[in-house]
């Protein structure tokens, strides 16, 4: 193995080593319910951003799903890198990448739709009904 290939492998290893702790940190913060609302990090749909309670509940519930999604993304990146470095036959990696990419897309879309519907339900439950509003 040449020096350039070893350097690229080291760089990829460092990138993956940096990615996993950040992903795990996000998971822990979301599960604790301490992720602050922001325009950069988190599930940022209209219904999720509507209240602090909804933001916290959605991120607690969907942290595991998005952790799996992030890990799948890491696997896809690793396969892509190894295929580009020709350590694995490109045909084999290409076929695996297609299925990993499809799985990531499906998990992400289903999770996002599910989170949005769940946020909508939480917001509807938090709103007082007409009778409740008159009692106050």
User: Which tens digit of pLDDT belongs to each residue from 44-91?
Assistant: 888 999 999 999 999 999 999 888 888 877 777 776 666 655 555 656
Q: Give the chain's mean pLDDT.
A: 77
Give long-range contacts, CB 8 A cutoff, 24+ apart: 79-86: 81/12, 85/5, 85/8, 85/9
Indicate the pLDDT class of residue 120, thresholds 50, 70 and 90: very high
- In the chain, pLDDT over 90 holds for what percent of residues? 22
DSSP class per residue in 33-63:
T-PPP-SSSS---HHHHT-HHHHHHHHHHHH
Give long-range contacts, CB 8 A cutoff, 24+ apart: 77-80: 77/16, 78/12, 78/16
Model confidence, pTM: 0.69
- Residue 91 has what pLDDT? 61
């Amino acid at each position: 193995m040449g020096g350039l290939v070893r350097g690229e492998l080291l760089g990829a290893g460092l990138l993956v080593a940096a990615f996993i702790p950040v992903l795990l940190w996000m998971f822990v913060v979301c599960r604790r319910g301490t992720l602050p609302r922001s325009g950069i990090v988190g599930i940022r749909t209209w219904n999720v951003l509507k209240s602090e309670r909804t933001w916290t509940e959605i991120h607690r519930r969907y942290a595991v799903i998005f952790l799996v999604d992030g890990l799948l993304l890491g696997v896809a990146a690793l396969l892509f890198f190894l295929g580009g470095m020709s350590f694995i036959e490109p045909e084999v990696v290409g076929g695996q990448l297609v299925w990993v990419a499809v799985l990531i897309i499906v998990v992400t879309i289903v999770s996002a739709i599910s989170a949005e519907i769940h946020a909508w339900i939480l917001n509807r439950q938090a709103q007082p009904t007409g009778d409740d509003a008159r009692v106050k």
